[in-house]
A and B are shown apart, each in its own frame.
Chain A
Amino acid sequence: MPKLTDGCVKPVKGPLLEGDSAPFSAGSAAVQEVKKVLAKVGKEAIDFEASAFVAGKGFKPVKLSDYKGKWIVVCFYPGDFTYV
């Protein structure tokens, strides 16, 4: 595995919504407060970016729209080390 380099704290990008020309700038706190459910079947997916752990690669940011053109499965789950 390549050597992992990383900082302790990184800004959370989260959902990338249209009209957000600058989703975040380093050091700024909560940039977007989204309380609404926007994902709907038959509608365009809401893009997002988050930091990820990838086996064999280490830590890297992953953006949903980088996978455009492929079928994508997005799975949410309550937490690591839980039971089911």
Chain B
Amino acid sequence: MAAVAALYDEFKALNVEVLSLSTDSRFVHKIWQEEELSKMLEGGVPFPMLSDSGGKIGTVYGVYDEAAGVDIRGRFIIDPDFVVRAMEVLTPEVGRNPKELLRQIKAFQHVVETGEVTPSGWEPGDKTLTPGPDLVGKVWEVWKP
């Protein structure tokens, strides 16, 4: 979570709200923030840290591990129309890459604004594609991996 928090200014600049959830209580979140996160980076985690006691929310989002009683690593991008745009779920051992999360948000925002589509690995400024009959079989002319 600290890795996402470290890039919080970038999320804010994209008009993104971040919410984190674990099965820990709000009390534990508070002490984690005070005892550890605030020492990892100045100010600690600036976004709300929610308590998913019992894993009910994790269950409907497909990330609750009943045997362990915890939510595994899952992150979801939700657009302003409240539609889930992306999800990534990892077993707990591997941390996520917040830069890839930012890239995906930028791509989704671009797609919503322009109606274009973004090819693999797209970064802002890269070539986009405009879907339509003329592009069928011709993608190779404008984009290569």
Q: Is B143's CB within 8 Å of the partner chain A?
A: no
Q: Among the listed A14, A32, A71, A73, which residue makes an inter-chain contact with B52, where contact means beta carbons less than 8 Å apart?
A: A14
Cβ of A54: which chain B residues have Cβ within 8 Å of it?
47-49
Residues of A within 8 A of B (CB): 6, 12, 14-15, 17, 32, 34-46, 48, 50-55, 59-60, 62, 64-65, 67-82, 84
**Docked complex Cα distance between A46 and B84 (Å):** 9
Q: Among the listed A40, A43, A55, A74, which residue makes an inter-chain contact with B19, where contact means beta carbons less than 8 Å apart?
A: A74
**Docked complex Cα distance between A6 and B14 (Å):** 33
Overall SS of chain B's interface: mixed
Cβ of A45: which chain B residues have Cβ within 8 Å of it?
76, 78, 82-84
Cβ of B29: which chain A residues have Cβ within 8 Å of it?
52-53, 80
Cβ of B86: which chain A residues have Cβ within 8 Å of it?
41
Cβ of A75: which chain B residues have Cβ within 8 Å of it?
1, 4, 18-21, 74-75, 96
Q: List 12 A-B contacts (CB under 8 A).
A: A41-B86, A43-B84, A50-B51, A55-B43, A55-B45, A71-B16, A72-B17, A73-B105, A74-B19, A75-B18, A80-B29, A81-B32
**Docked complex Cα distance between A54 and B78 (Å):** 21
**Docked complex Cα distance between A49 and B92 (Å):** 24
Least CB distance from A73 to B in Å reads 5
Q: Which of A38, A48, A50, A75 has the most CB of B within 10 A?
A: A75
Count of A-B contacts with CB under 8 A? 196
Nearest 8 interchain pairs by C-beta: A14-B56, A37-B62, A53-B29, A80-B32, A76-B71, A84-B95, A72-B78, A50-B50
Overall SS of chain A's interface: loop
B residues 36-73 touching A (CB-CB < 8 Å): 36, 43-54, 56-63, 68, 70-73
A36:B60 contact, CB within 8 angstroms: yes
A39:B16 contact, CB within 8 angstroms: no
B76:A38 contact, CB within 8 angstroms: no
Least CB distance from A68 to B in Å reads 5
**Docked complex Cα distance between A77 and B95 (Å):** 9
Q: Is B103's CB within 8 Å of the partner chain A?
A: no
